[in-house]
């Protein structure tokens, strides 16, 4: 059984590891410190909640390793005035981190089971600036557009056109781009007046971004 002292030590090491690996943005580090990751993993994984690894969650999905969450959040360059769209709620951890920095977060999940569980976590933790939508992530949430920032937490081979349309001018989208069964790259797209400016970053592996809303879960 993990003691409170063990948890405190684990969280200190967690933050030190993020700094060692190059995460420097103070707002991102503060958000990672504020969000209790143990609330977003399965009960059997609570003791390892702050280890730097991805973990399984229901519906065949995963919660990304903390470094990747911090890295993608840092690349997104979120400001306190921003409205953020996240595609792929999962357990809600990434949305929770974003909510500690942004003005408002809308997160889309295709599995109702995951969406409902995430809503309960957000309510329990008092994260009132997150809206959870059950739907098709590839379609985004056009009625709430435009968004200053869009974060996609599942892999796609091509940039979803509907999400580009929902990105504000000068806005930024970060997503894992590449075939789902291969190594993908974290890509940042900035919407300029006449084009999307692309930057490629680290290799990653994410579950695929699937079309439609799940029928069973």
Mind telling me the catalytic residues? 64
Burial of 80 from C-beta contacts in 10 A (0-12 / 13-18 / 19+)? exposed
List the beta bridge partners of residue 107: 86, 132
Residue position matching structure tokens 């702050």: 50
CA distance linking residue 45 with residue 124, whole number of Å? 19
CB 67 within 8 A of CB 21: yes
User: What are the tokens at 46?
Assistant: 């609570």
The rounded distance, in Å, linking the Cα atoms of 128 and 144 is: 17
The burial of 142, by beta-carbon neighbours within 10 Å (0-12 exposed, 13-18 middle, 19 or more buried), is given as exposed
Phi and psi based region of residue 33 (left: phi greater than 0; alpha: psi -120 to 50; beta: remaining):
alpha
* Largest Cα span, the chain: 56
Give the CA count within 13 Å in the CB-facing half-sphere of 23. Answer: 26
């Amino acid at each position: 059984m993990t003691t409170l002292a063990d948890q405190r030590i684990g969280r200190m090491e967690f933050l030190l590891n993020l700094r060692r690996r190059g995460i420097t943005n103070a707002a991102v580090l503060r958000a990672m410190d504020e969000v209790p990751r143990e609330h977003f993993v399965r009960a059997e994984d609570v003791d390892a909640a702050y280890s730097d690894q991805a973990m399984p969650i229901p519906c065949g999905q995963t919660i990304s390793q903390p470094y990747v969450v911090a890295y993608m959040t840092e690349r997104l360059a979120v400001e306190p005035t921003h409205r953020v769209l996240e595609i792929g709620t999962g357990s809600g951890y990434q949305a929770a981190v974003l909510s500690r920095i942004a003005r408002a977060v809308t997160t889309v999940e295709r599995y109702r089971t995951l969406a409902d569980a995430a809503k309960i976590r957000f309510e329990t933790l008092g994260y009132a600036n997150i809206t959870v939508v059950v739907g098709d992530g590839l379609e985004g949430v056009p009625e709430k557009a435009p968004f200053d920032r869009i974060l996609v937490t599942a892999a796609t081979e091509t940039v979803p056109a509907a999400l580009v349309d929902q990105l504000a001018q000068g806005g930024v989208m970060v997503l894992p781009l590449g075939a789902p069964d291969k190594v993908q790259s974290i890509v940042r797209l900035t919407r300029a007046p006449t084009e999307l400016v692309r930057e490629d970053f680290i290799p990653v592996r994410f579950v695929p971004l699937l079309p439609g809303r799940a029928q069973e879960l």
